[in-house]
Amino acid sequence: MGLRYACIAFLLAAFPAGGTLAAPQILAALPDADGIALACDGGLCETSLSTLCLQKDKQIPLPGQLYHPARGGQFVLRLTDAAGNTRDVPATDAVRFATERDFVSVRVSIAKGDLDALGAVSARLIVADDAALVPHPDPADPNPLTEPEITYVTISVRERAAALHGRPDTLSAQALGRLVAALRAAGDRSGDEGRRTLDRLWDATLRDTPGGRVTQDAVDTLGFCSSGADGYSLGSIRRCLGYEHSRMIRHLNAEHWQNNPGS
């Protein structure tokens, strides 16, 4: 079965007949040892994670589905204070994880007041190699996740997904995901200001990418999305890049399931 048909198969499998909603998929968060910068706007600081689905036979999560880390230490906030000093603290209950584009992207947020209370002027989210996210339980769930199931998926299945870590195509998908989050924080600028903002954010994205390089697919995707933007609108570019990021992550996920049919 080709990757295209594998993608279709797992999308169909995620919505079983009958329409009864049950626990959505457990997700793997792709690792980032250097951290993803949180952008603050008003009273909220946030970023986005690139994620993979670890359970193709479960429901695809709806936008806004809440998740929590599978285990402590998998997500850490690297805080920088006004003097430039850094320290790491666990991502506590004050950090919110919620899906934004089905299983491919999770928005991570914390109140600006909570960062202020920690003495931070900026923060980055460190994501461990084994990071996984479990959906918040629903008391009305007719088929809730069991503890043995959670343990198996977040350890054994998650370990198999590590084969995708650090590959050029994976790093490129993560880079586009970070750019989409940065564009969301930048707002809907257009014209010359939009072009300058995009160039600045793309340069920052490349600095945050190991090796500072991405695949030609990612470069071509950025060129395609920016060349077709009406008046160089960052909002249009962000939506296009979000679609392409989803495509790249789904391709990786299909490969994972092809190589691990039992997961």
What are 178's two structure tokens? 């970070």
Could you report the per-residue pLDDT of 7-45, keeping only the tens digit for each? 444 444 444 444 446 789 999 999 999 899 999 988 999
Could you report the per-residue pLDDT of 46-96, keeping only the tens digit for each? 999 999 999 988 999 999 999 999 999 999 999 999 999 999 999 988 999
The answer to whether the CB of 76 falls within 8 A of the CB of 89 is: yes
The answer to whether the CB of 47 falls within 8 A of the CB of 38 is: yes
Classify residue 91 by its DSSP letter: -
Lookup result for tokens 């500072």? 212
**Statement: residue 137 has pLDDT above 70:** yes
Which pLDDT score, from 0 to 100, does residue 228 have?
Answer: 62
Sign (positive or negative) of CA dihedral 152, 158, 159, 160 = positive
Half-sphere exposure (Cβ direction) of 82: Cα atoms closer than 13 Å: 4
Burial of 180 (0-12, 13-18, 19+ CB in 10 A): buried
Q: How would residue 234 be classed by pLDDT, with cut points 50, 70 and 90?
A: confident
**Quick one: average pLDDT of 179-185?**
91
- Angstrom distance (rounded) from CA 238 to CA 205: 14
Q: Which residue has the higher pLDDT, 182 or 3?
A: 182
| Mean per-residue pLDDT over the chain, rounded | 88
